[in-house]
Structure 1
Amino acid sequence: MGADTRLEELGVSGLGEVDEPAFSGLAERHRRELHVHCYRMLGSFEDAEDTVQETFLRAWRGRETFEGRSTFRAWLYRIATNACLDLLARCRPEPATGGEVLWLQPYPDRLLDELPAADADEPESVAVARETIELAYLVAVQHLAPRQRAVLILRDVLGWRAKDVAELLGDSVNSVNSALQRARAGMREHLPAERQDWTGGEEDAGTRELVRRYTDASVATDIGRIAELLRADVRASMPPTPGLRVGRDTVLNDWIEGGFEGMKGLRGVPVAVNRQPAVAFYLWNGRESAYLPLTIDVLRVIDGEIAEIITFHEDRFPMLGLPERLAADGTE
């Protein structure tokens, strides 16, 4: 059975005839893409996980409302989008402000690899799939009002027709088109100025070398060497800790005041996050006789320089599949 299952393919007249194991099997085929959809809407991996579970629960309870006019997949997307809007109304009635998103969490590439592959014959769809999962996009989206956010993702990422989005939201096509225009304007305001450069596609040799140099300089706690790799207008944040730092001197002075130069015994491990280069840092712990998780730096690279560093705390290590400790020789 294909991904876009309809009732006739199931050999039933309604989902009410499908038992729970069969229903779960159908829904599970779409778990990863629904999770990514909810993640784009919410910016939080954990909130997306909870919302997908809520989506499946609502779908099972409301299975008799599925009339087969759309695909099962589209029906699940409708439920997931509404579940996201409900969560936002309940927990985050106001969008993010000030260029930072305190609830932002990373998404491991190893799970993104589970998504259905974008059509290689359509480079634009490949680019959209990649760019719209990067942290810069996620941060910009979180600055939009919830309904604008839903319209933008459904129209520009998933390629839904305005008519279908209007039906989902219980709105008019004109209202949806107006919301899309406002959402796009908001994205232009919050996305990096170098829109065409904010993603370089697959990591090239230059980016890998830059990340290696950044890792080595960080392990050596060499502020001077790190400074050489940063753009003058580099941005740095550390969600959920408040505070967006902008400018090379501001960022590095903040690190120095935080005691970075005295942080000896670091090890860096490359990790793939949000289709961006990232480094997981471990710090030597004498009592444990091991390197223990410290932070994860996710980098945005433009023209051979680091334009942004988003740092996540050690509690993100398990969900990224990183080891809980490294031995004295740097091995797991």
Structure 2
Amino acid sequence: MVAGDLLSRARAGDGDAFRELTEPHHRELLVHCYRMLGSFHDAEDAAQDTLLAAWQGIGGYEGRAALRTWLYRIATNRCLNARRSAGRRLRREWDMPGVEPPEPTGFGEVPWLEPFPDSVLEGAVGVPLGPEARVEQSESLSLAFVTALQLLPPRQLAVLILRDVLGFRAIEVADMLDSTVDSVTSALKRARAGLKRHRSQSEEREPAPGPNSASEQALVAEFVRAYESGDPDALVALLTDDVFISMPPIPFEYQGRDAAIRLFAGIFGSGRRVDLVPTRANGQPAFGAYLRAPTGIRHGSGLFVLTLTVERICAFTRFDSSVLPSFGLPRSLPSR
């Protein structure tokens, strides 16, 4: 059925027609909300709120902007409202019993950060972008990029995503934000400068190996062997000199090999051992971590996401076990 017929039916209250109109955009809107909010669960809520608002407002949609643009306008403003609310995930205390954490080298500013499951990305990447897009789609969902986005003021964040990631024109963004082209241009300039400050170190790194390439698989296999066997020396040998370790919502951060040695020596020295179940997050290798217990049952203790260079691991992000269901991973594994 042609879009015009679907739109007429949707305006008349036909829910099936509305769903057929909006379904092709659902996953890319979810990704957009994730970039805006940094939390997969918050993004799911914002995407649902967007579709509800669109359904309630479809009668007033006059078609002056493309339907996709209209949906992005709603989604962006829903996310800006969410960022103004106080209901963000709070920092948590250290949660590894029997392990004394070493002194961190820094403290994270984005405790609400969550990983995005690659399994949800089908149909959400590879969509045609506008001519103004400057950021590669694969880069624009990396944990480093999403974290840096969260440190920008909300409207600068929105402008940068709409202009540099999605490629909307300045006049379109001004309309979405009820602003002016001059204001959008100024906000974009400040956002780019802020993003560069937060990402200066990661921009200098070598590129990562291709997803599921032989070099990625070889490095990941070495990581699994080292981590599952609790071998801190083998693990640290896989890390870059400036490796960055974070664990939201725990705010502790560890920068550099020396800090990594102290951290993993304490974890492995406590006798703590996990089995790793592979998955992917944010276009990066990831693992559900399951803590071995004397009963034989292995309980989910977190999710690890690796950021790679050509031959080494340059970042290690550990999330808590609350994110496992989003990846289709169980809370626990049976005895082997």
> TM-score with structure 2 length normalisation?
0.86
1:299 aligns with 2:315: no
* Higher RCO, Cα 8 Å, sep 6+: 2
1:208 aligns with 2:204: no
Report what 2:201 is aligned to: 193
Supply the distance in 1 between the matched residues of 2:135 and 2:119 (Cα, whole angstroms): 18
**1:235 corresponds to which letter in structure 2?**
F
Distance 1:78 1:191, change over 3 A: same
The runs of at least 4 consecutive aligned structure 1 residues that moved more than 6 Å come to 124-127
> TM-score with structure 1 length normalisation?
0.87
User: Which of 139, 162, 165 is equivalent to 1:131?
Assistant: 139
Report what 1:108 is aligned to: 117
RMSD, aligned α-carbons: 2.8
User: Which of 296, 313, 316 is equivalent to 1:309?
Assistant: 316
Supply the distance in 2 between the matched residues of 1:126 and 1:166 (Cα, whole angstroms): 18
Deviation for aligned residue 1:218: 0.8
Q: Given that residues 237 and 243 in structure 1 are in contact (C-alpha distance below 8 angstroms), is that contact kept between their aligned partners in structure 2?
A: yes
Supply the distance in 1 between the matched residues of 2:108 and 2:157 (Cα, whole angstroms): 16
Q: Given that residues 99 and 244 in structure 1 are in contact (C-alpha distance below 8 angstroms), is that contact kept between their aligned partners in structure 2?
A: yes
Deviation for aligned residue 1:193: 2.5
- Alignment of structure 1 residues 163-178 onto 2, 5 Å: 163-178=171-186
Report what 1:10 is aligned to: 6
Supply the distance in 2 between the matched residues of 1:200 and 1:188 (Cα, whole angstroms): 23
SS in 1 for 2:59: helix
Distance 1:173 1:126, change over 3 A: closer
- Alignment of structure 1 residues 191-270 onto 2, 5 Å: 191=199, 193-195=201-203, 197-257=206-266, 259-270=267-278
**1:158 corresponds to which letter in structure 2?**
L
SS in 2 for 1:254: helix
* Mean CA deviation greater in 289-298 or 39-48: 289-298
- Tell me the alpha carbon deviations over residues 8-49 of structure 1, each in whole angstroms, 9 at most, x when there is no partner: 35363x853242332234233322111110000000001011
Identity across aligned pairs (percent)?
40
- Alignment of structure 1 residues 10-49 onto 2, 5 Å: 10=6, 12=8, 15-49=10-44
Distance 1:47 1:310, change over 3 A: same
Distance 1:40 1:11, change over 3 A: closer
Aligned length: 318
1:326 aligns with 2:322: no
**2:277 corresponds to which letter in structure 1?**
V
Distance 1:91 1:281, change over 3 A: same
Supply the distance in 2 between the matched residues of 1:299 and 1:45 (Cα, whole angstroms): 18
SS in 2 for 1:128: coil
SS in 2 for 1:29: helix
Distance 1:156 1:127, change over 3 A: closer
